[in-house]
């Protein structure tokens, strides 16, 4: 029941970042501020619900994004989202992250995510920009949007994911 | 080597390796030269676009309302300009009618084939943008016309201001537009576009080869050494090769330089279309011609 609700809310986030955010971002900043709300939700899942769930959500929503916005290659978002979700969960799921900690983790994860995606495109010669330029052009400006979103959604997201874990705790093999 | 096997004994490491191999395989599959998408992709894209169109358009209306209020002040100036343009248009229209009639008569006399006559008779399909990709390196747009409406890959897409991109993939009800900003010589997934200069269509020639994101300018290469191209010239597509339609505005020339080997010139072109807050775009349908004339 609760898992269904989480998936539904994340689908809504996915639609918002593709269809509504382009209108909210002021003209001229369209290619600089880029929303990654679904990814923020995956990191929340890793922090408050466990690494396996984060892996599953990351891979499936990453794949959805790859297929729906297919331009050059499929699989990059799925792999990176799943991987970052899993490792964040592995490092931090036992600790109860506070607001400051959660926000800083999300900030770091966003930089890591954008960097990894950038380098995948670099390896396959789809972009030829330098990393320093990409960092200043879109990675750092969009980081602020992600942080604002994480702050705004911290309380409901934490409640949602923690309720989910309490309802049916994952069976850990360790 | 033994170290590696020890690592492999770790289940997590093993899964990571499997995942990585799978990821490379999927990327390899998607990078290969595919003529058509697979059916799960088509289904997912159509479903997503169907839902997204309920959100994109209302959001556009609300945002547009506030923008309109902001624009109220410049309406007077714009009106003045439009009046001048309308007057010029009325003059040109009369001349155009004469020229067109004459052209038609000459074509009849020279007994042009049906194929030659229909070659430049383009059809503009109006389409709504449904969503914009949230990936900085792949800013593809989705529009709500697909193969059922006659859209094919490689068709040009324009706004009122100018060329914005090419259709890269089609599903039955939607298609994906790769913006012209993804143009890159080195990239394995994009073609270059032949262009010319407005007013000197027969004398000028160049190829749009790549877009420099750092300066946000297009690079036009392979221009002849004694080309009379100057700054502020309007660049339009030339339609040579008959893949892309002719006469679509791309932008204005910003500067010209000597090319890499000193034999040709290059020019930087500023795009005339903007990619933010897009609503309606036009897909330019090139008439389907049977090359076999039996």
Q: What domains, with CATH codes, occur in chain B?
A: 39-182+276-285 (2.40.10.340), 193-271 (2.40.10.350)
- A173 pLDDT band, cuts 50/70/90, is very low
| Residue B93 contacts residue B85 (beta carbons within 8 Å) | no
Nearest-angstrom CA–CA distance, B63 and B70 = 11
pLDDT at B1: 61
The average pLDDT across A58-86 equals: 90
Mean pLDDT (chain B) is 84
pLDDT at B4 over 70: no
B164 three-class SS = strand
pLDDT at A74: 87
For residue A83, the distance in angstroms to the closest alpha carbon of chain B comes to 9
The average pLDDT across A22-27 equals: 84
Nearest-angstrom CA–CA distance, A125 and B250 = 25
| Residue B168 contacts residue A55 (beta carbons within 8 Å) | no
The average pLDDT across B48-62 equals: 86
- Judging contacts by C-beta atoms under 8 Å, the chain A residues touching residue B214 are 129-130, 133, 137
Mean pLDDT (chain A) is 87
For residue B153, the distance in angstroms to the closest alpha carbon of chain A comes to 13
pLDDT at B293 over 50: no
Nearest-angstrom CA–CA distance, B168 and B157 = 11
Summarize pLDDT for A111-137 with one digit per residue, the tens.
999 999 999 988 887 788 889 999 998
pLDDT at A2 over 90: no
Nearest-angstrom CA–CA distance, B183 and B194 = 13
The average pLDDT across A86-104 equals: 85
pLDDT at B289: 63
pLDDT at B5: 64
pLDDT at B8 over 70: no
B116 DSSP 8-state letter: H
pLDDT at B292: 42
CB contact under 8 A, B41 and A77: no
pLDDT at B199 over 50: yes
Taking the domains of chain A in order of start, what are their residue ranges? Answer: 2-17+36-167
Nearest-angstrom CA–CA distance, B237 and B216 = 19
pLDDT at A25: 85
Q: Identify from B48, B51, B136 which residue to disrupt to test chain A contact, counting A C-beta atoms within 10 A and taking the largest count.
A: B136
Partner-chain residue, chosen from B137, B168, B181, that has the shortest CB–CB distance to A121: B137
| Residue B211 contacts residue B183 (beta carbons within 8 Å) | yes
- B187 pLDDT band, cuts 50/70/90, is low
- Judging contacts by C-beta atoms under 8 Å, the chain A residues touching residue B176 are 69-71
Q: Thinking of the domain A2-17+36-167, which architecture would CATH place it in? A: Orthogonal Bundle (1.10)
- Judging contacts by C-beta atoms under 8 Å, the chain B residues touching residue A33 are none
Per-residue tokens: B134: 């949230």
Summarize pLDDT for B90-122 with one digit per residue, the tens.
999 999 999 999 988 988 888 888 777 777 788
Summarize pLDDT for A132-169 with one digit per residue, the tens.
999 998 899 999 999 999 999 999 888 888 887 776 65
pLDDT at B70: 75
User: What is the SS3 assignment for chain A?
Assistant: CHHHHHHHHHHHHHHHHHHCHHHHCCCCCCCCCCCCHHHHHHHHHHHHHCHHHHHHHHHHHHHHHHHHCCCCCCCHHHHHHHHHHHHHHHHHCCCCCCHHHHHHHHHHHHHHHHHHHHHHHHHCCCCCCCHHHHHHHHHHHHHHHHHHHHHHHHHHHHHHHHHHHHHCCCCCCC
pLDDT at B288: 72
- Compare all CA atoms of chain B with the CA of A37 and give the residue at the minimum distance: B134
CB contact under 8 A, B59 and A20: yes
CB contact under 8 A, A31 and B30: no
pLDDT at B280: 87
- B246 pLDDT band, cuts 50/70/90, is confident
């Amino acid at each position: 029941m609760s898992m269904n609700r989480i998936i539904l809310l994340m689908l809504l986030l996915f639609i918002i970042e593709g269809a509504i955010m382009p209108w909210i971002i002021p003209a001229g900043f369209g290619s600089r501020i880029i929303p990654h709300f679904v990814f923020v939700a995956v990191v929340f899942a890793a922090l408050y619900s466990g690494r396996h769930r984060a892996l599953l959500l990351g891979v499936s929503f990453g794949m959805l994004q790859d297929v729906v916005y297919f331009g050059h290659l499929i699989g990059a978002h799925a792999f990176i989202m799943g991987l970052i979700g899993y490792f964040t969960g592995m490092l931090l799921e036992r600790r109860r992250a506070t607001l400051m900690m959660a926000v800083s983790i999300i900030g770091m994860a966003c930089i890591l995510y954008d960097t990894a995606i950038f380098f995948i495109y670099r390896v396959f010669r789809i972009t030829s920009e330098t990393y320093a330029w990409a960092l200043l052009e879109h990675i750092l400006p969009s980081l602020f949007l992600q942080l604002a979103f994480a702050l705004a959604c911290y309380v409901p997201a934490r409640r949602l994911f923690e309720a989910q874990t309490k309802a049916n705790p994952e069976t850990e093999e360790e | 080597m033994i170290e590696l096997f020890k690592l492999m004994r770790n289940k997590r490491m093993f899964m990571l390796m499997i995942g990585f191999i799978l990821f490379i395989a999927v990327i390899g599959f998607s990078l290969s030269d595919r003529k058509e998408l697979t059916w799960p992709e088509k289904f997912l894209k159509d479903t997503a676009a169907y839902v997204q169109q309920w959100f994109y358009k209302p959001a556009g209306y609300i945002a547009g309302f506030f923008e309109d209020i902001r624009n109220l002040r410049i309406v007077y100036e714009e009106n003045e300009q439009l009046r001048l343009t309308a007057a010029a248009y009325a003059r040109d229209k009369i001349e155009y009618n004469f020229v067109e009639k004459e052209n038609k008569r000459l074509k009849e006399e020279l007994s042009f084939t049906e194929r030659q006559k229909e070659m430049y008779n383009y059809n503009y399909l109006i389409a709504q943008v449904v969503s914009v990709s949230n990936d900085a390196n792949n800013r593809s747009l989705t529009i709500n016309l697909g193969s059922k409406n006659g859209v094919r890959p490689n068709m040009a897409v324009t706004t009122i201001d100018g060329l914005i991109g090419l259709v890269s993939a089609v599903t039955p009800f939607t298609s994906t537009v790769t913006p012209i900003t993804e143009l890159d010589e080195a990239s394995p997934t994009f073609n270059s576009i032949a262009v010319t200069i407005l007013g000197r269509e027969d004398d000028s020639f160049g190829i749009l080869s790549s877009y420099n994101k750092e300066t946000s300018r297009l690079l036009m290469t392979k221009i002849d050494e004694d080309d009379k191209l100057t700054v502020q010239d309007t660049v339009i597509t030339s339609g040579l090769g008959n893949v892309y339609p002719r006469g679509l505005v791309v932008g204005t020339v910003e500067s010209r330089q000597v090319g890499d080997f000193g034999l040709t010139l290059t020019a930087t072109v500023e795009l005339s279309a903007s990619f933010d807050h897009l609503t309606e775009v036009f897909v330019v349908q090139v008439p389907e011609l049977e090359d076999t004339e039996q």
